[in-house]
């Protein structure tokens, strides 16, 4: 019996769409994350790693969807191969399986992983530079506050406990405590 074709899809934010990834590929199961690739603890990826068995093939749109760090990428690929699971990166047209070692593919994986990691570093550097310039011009205000500190203080003054305030506003207890310190 041959294994399953399992898809892994990742987008960085909830607003992004994953429709283009693995479009038209016949898959038995799909695992998806809407979280940064720099995060190694991803629910969908963790579920995929628990789900796959020897003989399965994991399909990923491109290398950067699986990992943004070369070390993590190589670790994930080795883990899958060690379990007898093959992995295919469709955009790069690279396939890895435990029974077919291919030094050229391994080199390409390492090089492309490093390029994606470098690209991400450049994006973050440009973002930091842009924010610094915006701050110098006085146009960068930072992230909007997500908690109305005035509302927290009013609820506390009315005698409501910290825990009740957190529950009422759907925020954490530590957020209530921080808002009351301001």
Whole-model pTM: value is 0.70
Q: Nearest-CA neighbor of 86 among 48, 44, 58, 46?
A: 58
Q: Which residues belong to the active site?
A: 12
pLDDT class of 30 with cuts at 50, 70, 90: very high
pLDDT class of 37 with cuts at 50, 70, 90: confident
Q: Which two tokens stand for residue 75?
A: 């670790």
| Average pLDDT over all residues of the chain | 89
128: part of which helix (H) or strand (E)? helix 103-137
User: Phi first, then psi: what are they for 59, rounded to 5°?
Assistant: -110, 130
CA distance 147 to 73: 37
pLDDT computed for residue 84 by the predictor: 93
Nearest-10 Cα torsion for 105, 67, 47, 59 = -40
Q: In the predicted model, is pLDDT for residue 1 greater than 70?
A: no
Using an 8 Å Cβ cutoff, are 62 and 23 in contact?
Answer: no
pLDDT class of 181 with cuts at 50, 70, 90: confident
């Amino acid at each position: 019996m041959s294994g399953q074709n399992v898809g892994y899809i990742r987008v960085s934010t909830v607003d992004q769409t994953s429709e283009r990834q693995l479009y038209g590929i016949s898959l038995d199961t799909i695992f998806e994350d809407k979280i940064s690739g720099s995060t190694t603890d991803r629910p969908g990826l963790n579920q995929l790693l628990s789900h796959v068995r020897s003989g399965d093939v994991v399909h990923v749109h491109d290398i950067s969807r699986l990992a943004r760090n070369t070390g993590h990428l190589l670790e994930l690929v080795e883990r899958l191969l060690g379990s007898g699971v093959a992995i295919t990166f469709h955009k790069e047209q690279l396939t890895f399986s435990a029974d077919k070692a291919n030094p050229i593919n391994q080199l390409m994986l390492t090089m492309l992983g490093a390029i994606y990691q470098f690209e991400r570093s450049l994006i973050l550097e440009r973002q930091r530079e842009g924010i610094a310039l915006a701050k110098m011009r006085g146009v960068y205000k930072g992230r909007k506050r997500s908690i109305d500190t005035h509302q927290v203080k009013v609820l506390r003054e009315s005698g409501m406990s910290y825990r009740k305030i957190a529950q009422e506003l759907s925020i954490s207890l530590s957020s209530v405590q921080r808002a009351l310190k301001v």
